[in-house]
Chain A
């Protein structure tokens, strides 16, 4: 995360806070008082006046119902000689609010503190800090300056009195410098975030501990934040929590990818909330998180690491040792292909105008991502080794990268290379099994590690292969025809190219009709399953050409369009967010995502 980004999201968070933390029927309003309290502890000493009782029954401060006399918080230095008083406001400082929102009144009361109270007899200096978490106007600042100029310089005869004004920028600076830690969050989340930060620092990304402890805890934390907050506060708090976790876990070398995973769970939770409970004030924060945090971080990640990822065999190197490693390197390669694809899809989704503001045109950015992907694929053969049927998502995303960059030749080359390698696995001539339809990496590992007599994987049914056939229809006719017949012969029928055709049984091709409102339900942990469509091979003979096969594919598309509800992508949710949810929840993609390009509705069928 860049320093600018940290500053921007801390600003956004502080701006979202109320003056006081309090529970309301609609949810909890988190206050700037908790931030000031922690800043006071970090900088000024022990508190002598707080506006709340710490750690109420529900784990967040409970408001005091007593007169403040203008003083929200006060801190006394350890030697008892310096008293710092906070006057907090959650309104902008303007000429109107100066009176209307009691800036003037509160400051006037604050400059006359009761120094006869216990423990204040040694005080020699008082500093009044006016802190507000909104912007200001010149007139408001002028009113404040005049007030300070006219205010006494002493309290009583001996105690010096001076003033500080912390506007939003200063508050942000102080926060980043002194309390960018779990204590910045509302008290209720302090313990949870401290624990999560410690886990993130200790656990290796992808380890059992990460998967079964940290990720569920993190999701619980995110849900708790969103469940308790109203409006923009939840979307504003979560980036700050992420920044804090990253700061605490930075020394963990595997955290670089782990951090992306944590971001993804937050993104999914935010879009889920947006899909279920649309709220315009929260929506701004959610979009901001998506573009300026998640997508920006993906971009930063690949800009930083593409040199390593594109180094010859850098990902393949994960495979040191045995076929177990070959499966592992495939997992890592597909992890990166998926993220590059999301980046491409998101940029392609934006208007040219929006992208132009970033200094490069959209096509330049899409081309850059395609270059990164090509470099990664040229350097690592693991890209051509999907192990699970559900990895059709990453493969689709890779094809989207080429399509978005206008590079059909690259798409064709990738499909050809993939078919050549999958062919050996389809025939059983490789030490690695064909795609597992159960989508269980554990089972694939077990199959490769123990080679049991009865396979523990399911490799007779494939959604992936049918998707490949359909995706080829996006390509120019020549490339499409060659690939369609090749895929059908080698992968669907599993027949030898020449001589004896072999005794492989044809694959059962699978398609899928997603449930209604897929675009909203995809963010749920549990989603209605939709309907599976089992498809017989489009031809029986291995000599079948595209002319024999394509009519069957077209007919399937037409019939499925009649049978299922039309796919309606939500207008206000980026396609990449829907794909991310599918990727994370390991749910199949609606075939219409590629059929809309391969078989446009207007003509119904792809042209010959």
Chain B
């Protein structure tokens, strides 16, 4: 909801009055679900002061998560920096992550890592073809516009076309328009898919534990 409604931040009184368990649940829920990374950064930023006050294990969990997400996407880093530019510890984390990323990129250029993996190029081609087909299929299914109007696949020519209509007239040249969109692939989902999945599983388990008090806790 935080992401979908583009919430800028949670109201201060709400955050101030939140208990340790509520805050942990919130963090874990955001960890378990795939939240848009800019929104996740805003969420984390608005919790920082309250969690600083609480400290302890919660702060450890919080800052570990921030460090990890900083490594994960550029969107997250940018949004976090914008949302809380004066938080000393967050700034230090961002700076540390920038250094680590620079070191990674530098080291990945090492001659020890320049080998090609047999079959990777072909597989990437297959993957891209399948992705293209899947996207086209999905667009076709979900686009009202494409379902209403006929589609003509032009074979030759570059970015201009004319139509020869049934009445025998040739239209004036029309320009094609291109549109594209891009999105950032979260690094760690690709670098460590199992590790990220394990984190989600662990978050789910912890949420279950926090939501369903044990018999012992009920007794207390």
Residue ranges of A at the interface with B (Cβ–Cβ < 8 Å): 204-208, 210-211, 253-258, 301, 304-305, 307-309, 311-329, 331-332, 335-336, 381-382, 384-385, 420-421, 424-425, 429-432, 441-442, 445-446, 448-451
Contacts and interface: CB of A to CB of B under 8 A. Distances in A.
B55 to A, nearest CB: 27
With most chain A CB atoms within 10 A of its CB, the pick from B103, B107, B113 is: B113
Contacts of A448: 123, 127
A204 B116 contact: yes
Contacts of A254: 111, 114-116
Contacts of B122: 442, 445
Contacts of B92: none
A521 B104 CA distance: 42
Interface string B188-220: 001111110110010000000000000000000
Report, nearest first, the 3 A-B pairs whose CB atoms are least far apart. A445-B123, A308-B110, A311-B107
A335 B120 CA distance: 15
Given A430-B197, A449-B123, A312 B113 contact: no
B76 to A, nearest CB: 16
9 contacts: A204-B114, A207-B121, A311-B106, A313-B191, A324-B127, A325-B120, A382-B191, A420-B198, A449-B124
Given A450-B127, A450-B130, A441 B118 contact: yes
B100 A312 contact: yes
A253 B190 contact: no
Contacts of B100: 312
A318 B112 contact: no
Contacts of A335: 115
Contacts of A256: 111-112, 114
A319 B107 contact: no
Main SS at interface, chain B: helix
A384 B198 CA distance: 13
A331 B117 contact: yes
B150 interface: no
With most chain A CB atoms within 10 A of its CB, the pick from B100, B115, B120, B121 is: B115
Interface of B: 100, 103-108, 110-124, 126-127, 130, 185, 187, 190-195, 197-198, 201
Nearest to A313: B104
Contacts of A253: 111, 114
B119 A424 contact: no
A205 B108 contact: no
Nearest to A210: B116
Contacts of B123: 324, 327, 442, 445-446, 448-449
Nearest to B112: A305
Contact of A328 (B105, B117, B187, B194): B117
A311 B116 contact: no
Contacts of B107: 307-309, 311, 314, 317
Nearest to A421: B194
A308 B120 contact: no
Contacts of A385: 194
A332 B110 contact: no
With most chain A CB atoms within 10 A of its CB, the pick from B105, B117, B121, B187 is: B117
A574 B95 CA distance: 49
Contacts of A313: 104, 108, 191
Nearest to A452: B130
Given A205-B115, A307-B107, A326 B127 contact: no
A329 B191 contact: yes
B114 A449 contact: no
